[in-house]
Amino acid sequence: MQYERQDGVPAFSCTEYAPKTKDYVVLIPIINEGERIHRELQRAKDSFVSSYADIVICDGGSTDGCTDEEILKKLQVNTLLVKQDVGKQGAQLRMGMWWALQRGYKGIITIDGNDKDSIEDVPNFIDKLKEGYDFIQGSRFVKGGKAINTPLVRHLSVVLLHAPVISLTAGQRFTDTTNAYRAYSAKYLTDERVKPFRDVFMTYELLAYLSVRATQIGLKACEIPVTRAYPKTGKTPTKISFFKGNSELLKILFRNARGKYNP
């Protein structure tokens, strides 16, 4: 099925391999993740994640074969969404969130598709959503969390800069604020004071904004422990370039602190 571009939502195609079966959905934004996304989905299958939530791939236009239909169906993917418009991660997430809300999910879990995060912990996010939390941040730095082979520069930038600024902006302490492994209630995403479906959220703006907006408007937020493991050797799996990417992240961080993304 083809969805035309509309205000705040990019044009995209939707291929459903199965109907909606759960109240919660896991959205995985990817682009050319190769075997990494297949390994992650296999871990999800091995830990029965699909018995708790539907798994949906939010593809940015992969060309490396990682979205092969037969592989995805075998790995229990419920639906493949493919963005056919401008924008990066923020646009992929807006696509997935809009579609998920239209489909009637009560809560949305997001996780990167590069096999760094403990997808086995999805049920713990769902438990918190059921307890009434509207924003749940996964953290490798709280008790029970694990940070494995985190590059030193990445660790220091989160602990000394990103997390303190986000915490001050949110009015609540968060420890792992660059981590895209988190959950949102439908109540949060549909609140008129939030309005996530805006074209200003093209790259990493949406993650920063949604990290702080829940507590700013009086909704419940918390952190739960997760594991984030980087490979011991080889290239770090990330879409953020060291200089340009991190410079853009800093600009977004401080725009967010000044309330530039508020409706």
Q: Could you list the residue range(s) of the whole structural domain that residue 121 is in?
A: 2-257
Is residue 126 assigned to a domain?
A: yes
Domain with residue 172: its CATH number is 3.90.550.10
d(CA 204, CA 178): 9
Average pLDDT over residues 225-232: 94
What is the pLDDT averaged over residues 158-182?
Answer: 95
Global pTM value: 0.94
What total of structural domains would you count in the chain? 1
> pLDDT band at residue 95, thresholds of 50, 70 and 90?
very high
Summarised one tens digit per residue, pLDDT across range 16-59 is: 999 999 999 999 999 999 999 999 999 999 999 999 999 999 99
**Amino acid residing at 76:** Q
Please check the confidence at residue 241 and state whether its pLDDT lies above 50. Answer: no
Q: Is residue 156 part of a domain?
A: yes
Q: Exposed/middle/buried for 261, CB within 10 Å: 0-12, 13-18, 19+? A: buried
Residue 228 lies in a domain: yes
- Structural domain includes residue 262: no
Query: Cβ(82)–Cβ(67) under 8 Å?
Result: yes
Radius of gyration, alpha carbons of the chain: 17
Is 70 within a domain?
yes
Please indicate, yes or no, if residue 187 is contained in any of the structural domains: yes
Does 263 map to a domain?
A: no
Of 117, 96, 106, the C-alpha closest to 224 is: 117
What does the alpha-carbon distance between residue 119 and residue 123 come to, in Å, rounded to a whole number?
9
Residues whose CB falls within 8 Å of the CB of residue 259, separated by 6 or more in sequence, listed in order: none
> What pLDDT score was predicted for residue 160?
83
